[in-house]
Structure 1
Amino acid sequence: MPPRKEAMAGLEVANKPRRRSFKVEEFDPEKIKSEINPFAAKLPSVSKQDAPLVIDNDSGAEVAAPPKDLETVDDFSDEVGRLWGNAGRAFIETGRALNRAKEKLAHGDFMVLTSQRLPFSHNIADRLMAIARAVDEGIYPADALPPNYTVAYQLVSLYEHERPVALKEGLVTPAVTRRAIEEFKKRMRPHDEEADIRVRDKKRLASLIGQRARIDVEIAELKKRLGDDAA
């Protein structure tokens, strides 16, 4: 049937059928992904906030690119927390970040970082830094270290004259165990009581330094809070 016409103010207007209005809905990529392929729902989501991936020079694996221009305690706290949360040999990168922090931050700020703002203790921070230095100074290649930082530190803590022997005996390998390294140390130091005392004293010193740092930070905070009443 042709459209009905009506006279309106001397004009003929055709009554055109009304157009339907459609509400444009936002597309949900995750919903579309799960509806198209049930297996796709298992894929990791991509967020604009995710850090870009780069190839790690040590392991050859893809890792998140570190943020640039780390300057403050907050910057280094976030970066170290991110690296520590990753798997594999990220403890080397974590140690490097801590070494950069020590170079850039004031001493007091660095102690705040290692004593209050990290997901691990000050002693662990020292060990991670030592591992990173050993790799960066060419003492050990990163791919020769065990994938566990506690075992890697056992290798790093060998004395200089012990390292060639450890290498010759096949201890410098990712598969080495902590027990094997400890037995090697006992064999290399059977009567070295002075060395044992030094190791004990160094551990005690590191513990005391960590305690003093935490105390200094707490004292500074209390003085700031009390102001003139702190005297």
Structure 2
Amino acid sequence: MSAASGKRSKAALKAFLAAEEDPLGEGVAADPRAKELRSLSIEDPAALQAIREVFAGTSLPEDQEKVRRILRARSEIQKEWGDARDSFLAIGRALLALEGDLTKAEFARLRHGTERLFPFSDATATQLRQIARAVDGGRIPVEACPGSYGTAYQITLLSEPQLRVARERGLIRSDVTRREIMQLRREVPADGLEPLPPGRLDRARLREERARLGERRARLVEELAVVERRIAQIDDLMSPVIDGEAEAIA
């Protein structure tokens, strides 16, 4: 590799691929996985170079199996990218599979180099993994998953109480809009307490409710003060007297 250019020469790349096809130099039949790695690398040599740079200083670039898996995932993702729901689910699943194949440190490196290897950012990759996890885990039925991954991701952000309300309102469907889901997230607290009615926020109603809650809080503070005073009295009654005599407590 040229220190000035930071790129692998064609001769070095050819030698690397030849070594992987016949690592013992004995002309034996190549392992199918090695042949796949060679094929993927020839089709996209820049990807192989990107892997070496992303994982520089680690042993991963020398692990043919992991390199093959990354190249295969890259190939699948590039083929699927641009299609609709089934495609972004396939991409998310491919990324989840990689997360399971790599160590935590290696996956962190992969995330850092996402834009070098895949046609999207790490933020997008995170969303796609989250969607695939939600669909495969049953939180979002595959047939109800929206065709927009941005909308599908908004559904994954719903808490269980919010998701329950979304189901009640018929919002878990393939044609739901991102705006509808975001509106629900604004209206329904994550803990599910006292969801507001759908539609525009009624500020007058909210002010009235806040005033009532303020009055209730004041009453609770007064009640708490009474409780605290009574606890202090009980503590005094139960404490030893100064002369060492114990008070008779009925």
TM-score (norm 2): 0.45
TM-score (norm 1): 0.49
